[in-house]
A and B are shown apart, each in its own frame.
Chain A
Amino acid sequence: MSTKEILQVSDLTMAYGDIIIAENINFSVKKGEIFVILGGSGCGKSTLMRHMIGLEKPQLGDIFLCHQSIVTASYDERLGILQDIGVMFQGGALFGSMSLLENVSLPLEEFTDLPNNAIQRIATDKLHMVGLQGAEHLLPAEISGGMQKRAAIARAMVLDPQILFLDEPSAGLDPITSAELDKLIVNLANILGITFIIVSHELASIYAIADRVIMLDKAAKTIIAEGKPHYLRDNADDDRVRRFLQQGVAGERIH
């Protein structure tokens, strides 16, 4: 494993009970890369993400984050690894009893010794970065689904983690907000060197930001393609991959 590889998944088999969701999953992600996981609905993208962040135990195989296995990590090692990652869940998973600002401040309060005004400042800035000016004091139930997603992204990145996991960040966003989010992701990757692992269906966004993609398939129960999205669109061996990626040709965003 080269030192540039910040995440490595090796020979992973994912299962719920006896039901295997996918097997023989191998890939690695370099620092600063924007890595996108594709695949049809129900093929196990969210499940893969849950494995990578240590919420599910692999049936087989191992996962390394920043060169440490999250599978065999002790409780304390695990806490160390978790400090380096941020996660946005598919549904947002904001804390319902807290305002957006409190949601975003929470990790700062729990894991830093910053004074209160610094915490407010940082949290507000993050909310502004995702375009949520003026909604700081609203509760999650009082804002739209797209706004919840963006607030969840703000919360995920508030500790400036090395790896950000985003499960369908732009699903449900309008094209303009989605493009702004893409710009933010690219900037964070380029300027701060944050690595992104993104589950996405939005082809326009994938072509705009992804350095590399993998595609999972429900029937094959494994990765059926890996590479740059433009290349795979025209050259993938597997017809399913080309078809998936070509659906978006018309909608491709122009930069």
Chain B
Amino acid sequence: MEATETEIGPDSCQYNIIESTDKLIKIQLGGELSVHSSASVWQKFLDLQKQYQPEQFIIDANDIQYCDGAGVSLLIELREQQLNSNKQFSVLGLPQQFADLYKIISDLPTNTKPQNREEQISLIEEDNLIENVGHASLGFIDSLREGIAFLGEFTYQAWLTILKPRRMRWRDVPRIIEEVGPNAFPIIALMGFLIGIVMSFEAAIQMENFGATIYVPNLVGLALTRELGPLMAAILITGRSGSAFAAELGTMKINQEVDALHTMGLDPVIFLAMPRLFAVLFMTPVLYLEMVFFGLIGGAVVFHTLGYSFAIYINQLDSAVRMTDLLGGLVKCEVFGIVIASIGCMHGLRTRKGARSVGLSTTQAVVNGIILLIVMDGLFAIIYYALGI
């Protein structure tokens, strides 16, 4: 069998398959075998080799005008395939300067050691696939447990800091407050307003059947102060600030800034996490109240379209929402604040190496943060029920 193919161009490789049987493949090469031109022949030659599995593979390189590192790599790849199956390979007449390059690259110590990432990484980390699968499935429970443990440590440190305020750098707090708070005002207002509208509208449709639309404010007021206000505000802060904490602290971790703190004798939890905690503790109630306020405005708009006056709205709210509801909401907010700051900071400080793990930490901070918030919310429902609040 014979085949000839010629490509003419400034950067092209001509080849001529002289013979291709299971005894011998002989290919005549000409022109330029470069990083660009070898692309057209690389797969062809390997396929040919696989198809015939010849006893001998000969490349006639007499007409090669130019050959670069990639060209040599092709020759070496072919040679390796041959040698691996105990077959023969030879290159004939490769011009001297390219032959030197061929020799340099083929003399490099070959990589008989690990060929893939898993094996190479196993040399520097005691990690393996089965372990990873196990970790992944236990990961959720683990991270929840770890989260709760860190939460404990965190609350304890916060308590010590309240007792002895000089432990912490308070000057970082205003900057963080600014990031957590004012920048979130518009979105909280919008969300609160929309939730208020949607909720009262849905409620009104149902209550109309019983002629009970007058109770729409009661529902909106209670739902916002007790449940939706704290939870929605907290989820929003988790997405905005919990993630930012994880990313900031994670970046500091991989830049060895956290190590630097350790060697200065400064505890990263006190130095980095506490200011963020206090900023969040300061801002969550504010954002909660903002959300309730705008939610009530949304409710008022709908209530008004049902034909009631504003005074009735206030009156209904006043009779439904007690001070304890608002206080209960505020307490929830503070607890949620601890959750947000601790989960964000924990995932940041747990970041391992590389930029990718910062992204991972950020995602985990948000996901685990929200899960823990919902769990906490459930606990609060039980506790408040038991307390009769």
Contact = CB atoms under 8 A, between A and B. Distances in A.
A93 B260 contact: yes
B265 A79 contact: yes
B241 interface: no
B255 A96 contact: yes
A96 B263 contact: no
15 contacts: A17-B125, A19-B125, A54-B262, A54-B263, A82-B263, A82-B264, A83-B265, A85-B263, A87-B263, A91-B256, A93-B259, A95-B252, A96-B251, A111-B264, A111-B265
B124 A16 contact: yes
Interface residues of B, number: 16
B202 interface: no
A88 to B, nearest CB: 9
B387 interface: no
B257 A93 contact: yes
Contacts of B252: 95-96
Contact of B126 (A17, A82, A93): A17
Contacts of A111: 264-265
Given A16-B124, A18-B126, A82 B259 contact: no
Contacts of B255: 91, 93, 96
Nearest to B264: A107
A93 B259 CA distance: 8
B266 interface: yes
B contact face: mostly helix, strand, loop, or mixed: helix
A110 B126 contact: no
Interface string B123-148: 11110000000000000000000000
Sorted from nearest, which 8 A-B pairs have the closest CB atoms?
A17-B126, A93-B256, A82-B265, A93-B260, A87-B263, A89-B256, A79-B265, A18-B126
A53 B252 CA distance: 19
Given A79-B265, A96-B255, A110-B266, A89 B126 contact: no
A18 B122 CA distance: 10
Contacts of A54: 262-263
A205 B191 CA distance: 62
Contacts of A79: 265
Which interface class (under 10, 10 to 19, 20 to 34, 35 or more) fits A? Answer: 20 to 34
B36 to A, nearest CB: 33
Interface of A: 16-19, 50, 53-55, 78-79, 82-83, 85, 87, 89-91, 93-96, 106-107, 110-111
Contacts of B262: 54-55
Contacts of B256: 89-91, 93
Interface string B76-97: 0000000000000000000000
Contacts of B265: 78-79, 82-83, 111
A61 to B, nearest CB: 20
A19 B126 contact: yes
Interface string B232-264: 000000000000000000011001110110111
A7 B376 CA distance: 50
B260 A89 contact: yes
Nearest to B125: A17
Contacts of B123: 19
A111 B265 CA distance: 9
A78 B263 CA distance: 10
Contacts of B251: 96
Interface string B266-296: 1000000000000000000000000000000
Contacts of A83: 265
Contacts of B264: 82, 106-107, 110-111
B345 to A, nearest CB: 15
B258 to A, nearest CB: 9
A211 to B, nearest CB: 24
A87 B260 CA distance: 7
A164 to B, nearest CB: 11
B125 A16 contact: yes
Contacts of A110: 264, 266
B303 to A, nearest CB: 47
Given A17-B126, A50-B259, A96-B252, 11 more contacts: A16-B124, A19-B125, A19-B126, A85-B263, A87-B263, A89-B259, A95-B257, A95-B260, A96-B257, A106-B264, A111-B265
B218 to A, nearest CB: 47
B19 to A, nearest CB: 47
